[in-house]
Structure 1
Amino acid sequence: MKFHTRKWVKPEDLNPNKTLFGGKLLAWIDEEAALYSIIQLENSHVVTKFMSEINFMASAKEGDIVEIGLDVVKFGNTSIVLKCKVRNKMTHETIITVDQITMVNLDSNGKPKLHGKNQIEYVSERLSKKEPGV
């Protein structure tokens, strides 16, 4: 799993128990899944369709640093399915796992759009495909 983003847990991210608010963490995951999907599908019109069962295993407290990791499970015709793991860099514990996050590629009218992708692409690979001087 590749860990793409780190977040610093600040006072405004805490619940009344003084630990990381689950809703804040889910918002971070959703944003990271959207950004990852936008880059992979090369389309800024991507939405979350489905998120599977969420398994909270540990938490984080103020000052902790959490990392969000994503991997592609599969490419659909108009979607990309991801899995996610969030870990606490300070305690080395897994905070949460999400087995499936389905992101859907949309056209300008908000309808599902074929994306033609079937494997992960990295920016360096895309750059090498372009002709010199383009």
Structure 2
Amino acid sequence: MPNNAVPMSQSRTVQSRLVLPPDTNNHNSIFGGRVLAYIDEIAAITAMKHAKGLVVTASIDSVDFLSAAHVGDILEIESIVSSTGRSSMEVYVRVVSRNIETGEEKLTTESFVTMVAVNEEGKPVPVPSIYPETDEEKRLFETGPARREHRKQKRALPH
């Protein structure tokens, strides 16, 4: 591992949110856009912790809405830097909803967000590399290069 590498766990961030009526649509389930805002915010915080500085969102690769969260549910949002480039960081975000009355937990959303560390002028700056410690971290870390290649191929497509 490179000598400037830091453990992935150093960037781990967890937030809890209560789903309130203003956050929901006519089905009493949370707006997807609200979840996207939570994902972008926690990804930025996670990347700032890793980069120890400013970051910008470069892309949100995929957002898979797997189940709905409803009024009164608690969202538990967890993120970690899962891969790094020279100045970029891939952040894995997982959203779980918990029904407070039944205790039922459901995976609501998973996403990968690419953040870039920047200086005050908005120019990219280098970030430390990472290394995994747990089995989950190893899975995310080892599959990172394939996701990076997929992103590169998508960018190469004509628009």
Within 5 A, what are the aligned runs for 1:34-73?
Answer: 34-43=44-53, 45-73=54-82
The answer to whether the 8 A contact 2:13-2:42 is kept is no
The answer to whether the 8 A contact 1:3-1:67 is kept is no
- TM-score, structure 1 as length reference: 0.81
1:12 aligns with 2:22: yes
Q: Secondary structure at the match of 2:105?
A: coil
User: Which residue does 2:39 correspond to in 1?
Assistant: 29
The answer to whether the 8 A contact 2:78-2:94 is kept is yes
Choose the corresponding residue for 2:116, options 90, 99, 104: 104
- Measure the CA separation in 1 of the matches of 2:13 and 2:72: 19
- Measure the CA separation in 1 of the matches of 2:18 and 2:32: 14
1:17: how far off? 1.8
Q: Secondary structure at the match of 1:111?
A: coil
The answer to whether the 8 A contact 2:55-2:118 is kept is yes
Residue ranges of structure 1 left out of the alignment (5+ in a row): 121-134
The answer to whether the 8 A contact 1:75-1:119 is kept is yes
- Measure the CA separation in 2 of the matches of 1:119 and 1:32: 18
- Measure the CA separation in 1 of the matches of 2:121 and 2:14: 30
Q: Secondary structure at the match of 1:17?
A: coil
- TM-score, structure 2 as length reference: 0.69
4+ residue runs over 4 A deviation: none
- Measure the CA separation in 1 of the matches of 2:13 and 2:92: 12
Aligned residue identity for 1:82:
V
Q: Secondary structure at the match of 1:53?
A: strand
Choose the corresponding residue for 2:108, options 81, 95, 108: 95
Identity %: 29
Residue ranges of structure 2 left out of the alignment (5+ in a row): 1-8, 132-159
CA-atom RMSD in angstroms: 1.6
